[in-house]
Amino acid sequence: MTSDVDASGPGPEARLPLRPGLEGLHPYGAPQLDVPVLLNVNENPHSPSEEVVSDIAESVAKAATGLNRYPDREFAELRAELSEYLRIESGVRVPAEQIWAANGSNEVMLHLFQAYGGPGRTAISFDPTYSMYPEYARDTHTTWVTGRRSADFTLDPAHAADLIRRHHPALIVLTSPNNPTGTALPLETVVAVLDAARGSGPAGPDGGHTDSVVVVDEAYGEFRRAGVASALTLLHEHPHLTVSRTMSKAFGMAGLRLGYLAAAPALVEHLRVVRLPYHLSAVTQAAALAALRHREEFIAQVASLRQERDDLVEWLRARGHAVADSDANFVLFGMFEDRHAVWNGLLERGVLIRETGPAGWLRVSVGTPQEMAAFTAALQEVDPR
Ligand SMILES: *Cc1c(COP(=O)(O)O)cnc(C)c1O
């Protein structure tokens, strides 16, 4: 027996060759504080039901008997079930081969940047939007360019077209419903961007311009209000479009890490090239399949969260707050001269929301009715009107 070696602490000094540009950077992430009411990262507030939990446990146990083998690299069964889910949820039939999945839509997005971005390439988006995107660009050496959303947080198609023509982006990221504003884009705006993207990408091997890939990030797609369409309905006419979804929000499975997208077959083929082999573990595949078997339960839960969201918007407006229209499971509200003081006052009362978005605004996720009651009570104390 050898004695234990203690490897703790910095030990002797080394000059590690950190890539230029990464010096002094911090890992991404909202503060994870231990507070009774967590309304800061847009999770589904309901734990999975007992039936879902036991189905996942059984499926994972079964998968565990085969863990000596590598998993199905093409996750065929999971793609088929995600395809079926999209058909039920949005009425669009996307064949299983046109579905791609990875560990969260974060990784799906990274695959897109790995396939289409890179040195000399540009990706564009429109602020205010999701703050993770610039990190995918940084990590793939892709130039990141941002335009702006209008005062009501929608997108002016002329501004978008102008930016696209000037930068010849390989990727255009549209977030709809947008985070942190909750804004869904009308399909006409998405179509205008798709049209502008044609022949506006970087030069291809023959010297002519490619088509920019348009990514519509629908992480919150299930929460859209009645009459708001999904960009999935545009897929059959636009082979340079891809729509990404996640099980993290509506499905209440943020801890599972499963995101996916729908796209034309050629685009999915490109993503297969850059993924790490066996990126989706057998455990993840088994758990996701089990959760998907309970889709009716999640769809019903989304309906009640949507209703709570609409009630919250109404309550905030009745108090005289500015509130951005929301098609998501969170609400951006304001305006506060000192938003940090309001955020902090809520935190002192055990309610954690997110200090994000343009100056003067705060974002609150939709929680359970009890959590919403705690939030509204705390806000009335912190900001009496
Ligand atoms: C939460 C969120 C995601 C989800 O990421 P996962 O990796 O699937 O958990 C993606 N896009 C936006 C805009 C989000 O807010």
Residues enclosing ligand 1, CB less than 6 A? 42, 104-106, 130, 175, 179, 217, 219, 246, 248-249, 254, 259
Tell me, yes or no, whether 170 lies in a domain.
Answer: yes
Residues 258 and 348 in one domain: no
Q: Report whether pLDDT(233) > 80.
A: yes
Tell me, yes or no, whether 238 lies in a domain.
Answer: yes
Q: Which of 260, 292, 324 lies at the terminal end of a domain, its last residue? A: 292
Average pLDDT over residues 342-362: 97
Closest listed residue to residue 199, CA positions, set 185, 209, 214? 209
Predicted confidence at residue 12, as pLDDT, reads 84
Band of residue 234 on the pLDDT scale cut at 50, 70, 90:
very high
Tell me, yes or no, whether 3 lies in a domain.
Answer: no
Contact 180, 363 (CB under 8 A): yes
Which residue owns the Cα nearest ligand 1 atom 12?
Answer: 219
Predicted confidence at residue 221, as pLDDT, reads 97
Tell me, yes or no, whether 116 lies in a domain.
Answer: yes
Residues 80 and 169 in one domain: yes
Give the Cα separation of 357 and 339 in Å (integer). Answer: 11
Domain that includes residue 211, residue range:
50-292
Ligand 1 atom nearest the C-alpha of 247 is 8
Number of domain units in the chain: 2
Number of C-beta neighbours around residue 27 at 10 A: 5
Q: What separation in Å is there between the alpha carbon of 42 and the centre of ligand 1?
A: 9
Predicted confidence at residue 1, as pLDDT, reads 61
Report the chain's mean pLDDT, rounded to a whole number.
96
Average pLDDT over residues 222-246: 97
Tell me, yes or no, whether 77 lies in a domain.
Answer: yes
Predicted confidence at residue 63, as pLDDT, reads 97
Q: Report whether pLDDT(382) > 90.
A: yes
Give the Cα separation of 66 and 69 in Å (integer). Answer: 6
Tell me, yes or no, whether 90 lies in a domain.
Answer: yes
Ligand 1 atom nearest the C-alpha of 129 is 13
Q: Report whether pLDDT(300) > 70.
A: yes
Q: What separation in Å is there between the alpha carbon of 20 and the centre of ligand 1?
A: 28
Q: What separation in Å is there between the alpha carbon of 179 and the centre of ligand 1?
A: 9
Residues 323 and 284 in one domain: no
Residues 137 and 249 in one domain: yes
- Phi/psi of residue 61, nearest 5 degrees: -60, -40
Give the Cα separation of 281 and 284 in Å (integer). Answer: 5
Tell me, yes or no, whether 86 lies in a domain.
Answer: yes
Predicted confidence at residue 32, as pLDDT, reads 78
DSSP assignment letter at 367: -
Predicted model pTM: 0.96
Residues 150 and 226 in one domain: yes
The residue among 233 and 21 whose pLDDT is bigger is 233
Residues 280 and 315 in one domain: no
Q: Report whether pLDDT(331) > 80.
A: yes
Q: Report whether pLDDT(112) > 70.
A: yes
Q: Which of 229, 257, 292 lies at the terminal end of a domain, its last residue? A: 292
Which residue owns the Cα nearest ligand 1 atom 11?
Answer: 219
**β-bridge pairing 143-148 and 122-127:** parallel
Residues 55 and 42 in one domain: no
Closest listed residue to residue 141, CA positions, set 121, 155, 160, 159? 121
Tell me, yes or no, whether 368 lies in a domain.
Answer: yes
| pLDDT digit string, tens, across residues 30-72 | 777 889 999 999 999 999 999 999 999 999 999 999 999 999 9
